[in-house]
Amino acid sequence: MMSATGHRYGFRVDVLVNSLFFVAAGIGLRTKWLGSWATPLGLISGGALLGSSWLCELLEQRSLPGAKAYSGRGGFDPDDAL
């Protein structure tokens, strides 16, 4: 079953985990070929994902019921590729 509270919780946790994935990848790759660029790039990409997800949620809240900011294919959203 779906509730508004469950949707908000699931959305926020999903966005947080996806954003932190990129931050952690940047931190983990700091000793590889990207060197000192890895951590800032991880922070930038994690922040960009956080910001774009937040803007998508605002857009969906202001749209008609059932409208999606982006739609996936075959029952999968683009963030499911992570």
| Model confidence pLDDT, tens digit, residues 36-45 | 999 999 999 9
% of the chain with per-residue pLDDT over 70 = 85
Which residue range is the domain that position 28 belongs to?
Answer: 14-61
Residue 9 lies in a domain: no
Quote the number of domains for the chain. 1
Q: What is the pTM of this model?
A: 0.73
Per-residue pLDDT, 73 = 74
Residue 2 lies in a domain: no
Residue 31 lies in a domain: yes
* Cα–Cα distance measured from residue 38 to residue 22, given in angstroms and rounded to the nearest whole number: 10
Residue 46 lies in a domain: yes
81 versus 34: the higher-pLDDT residue is 34
Residue 6 lies in a domain: no
Residue 43 lies in a domain: yes
pLDDT tens digits for range 9-28: 888 898 899 899 999 999 99
- Residue 11 burial by CB count (10 A; 0-12/13-18/19+): exposed, middle or buried? middle
Q: Please count the other Cβ atoms lying within 10 Å of the Cβ belonging to residue 76.
A: 9
Residue 23 lies in a domain: yes
